Amino acid sequence: EPEVTQTPSHQVTQMGQEVILRCVPISNHLYFYWYRQILGQKVEFLVSFYNNEISEKSEIFDDQFSVERPDGSNFTLKIRSTKLEDSAMYFCASSGSSGGTNTQYFGPGTRLTVL
């Protein structure tokens, strides 16, 4: 069964450093998403991406964040200058074809720890 994969599973970084989180969405999906989950809290939407453009973003997704699809398979989230409050699980998700229902499949997540 196709699945979303994410690397690394755990990333530890110093405050102020840049991090790049990587995702490989399900291969025939066209829509890609990033969410985050602070420990013990709900899952929060960050951004959605379609046709090499951001479709929608939340107020969490400020200028420190960027997304990119550098090739035909990877989808990345970059945090330019990490803050302590960026520590969270980051989940990538993907969904299918244009016009279809918004059935999003999530990856296993990357745990980001900012020291």
Shortest distance, position 4 Cβ to other proteins, whole Å = 8
Opening angle at CA 91, ends 76 and 45, nearest 5: 95
**Given the complex with other proteins, which of 41 and 113 has the nearer CB atom?**
41
**Given the complex with other proteins, which of 59 and 71 has the nearer CB atom?**
59
Shortest distance, position 109 Cβ to other proteins, whole Å = 5
Looking only at the bridges linking them, the beta strands covering 110-114 and 10-13 are parallel
Q: Using CB under 8 A as the criterion, which residues of the chain lie in contact with other proteins when the complex forms?
A: 4, 30-31, 33, 35, 41-45, 48, 50, 55-56, 58, 91, 95-109
Q: How far apart are CA 83 and CA 2, in angstroms?
A: 34
**Given the complex with other proteins, which of 38 and 115 has the nearer CB atom?**
38
The amino acid at residue 22 is: R
Answer for the pair 112, 13: CB distance below 8 angstroms, yes or no: yes
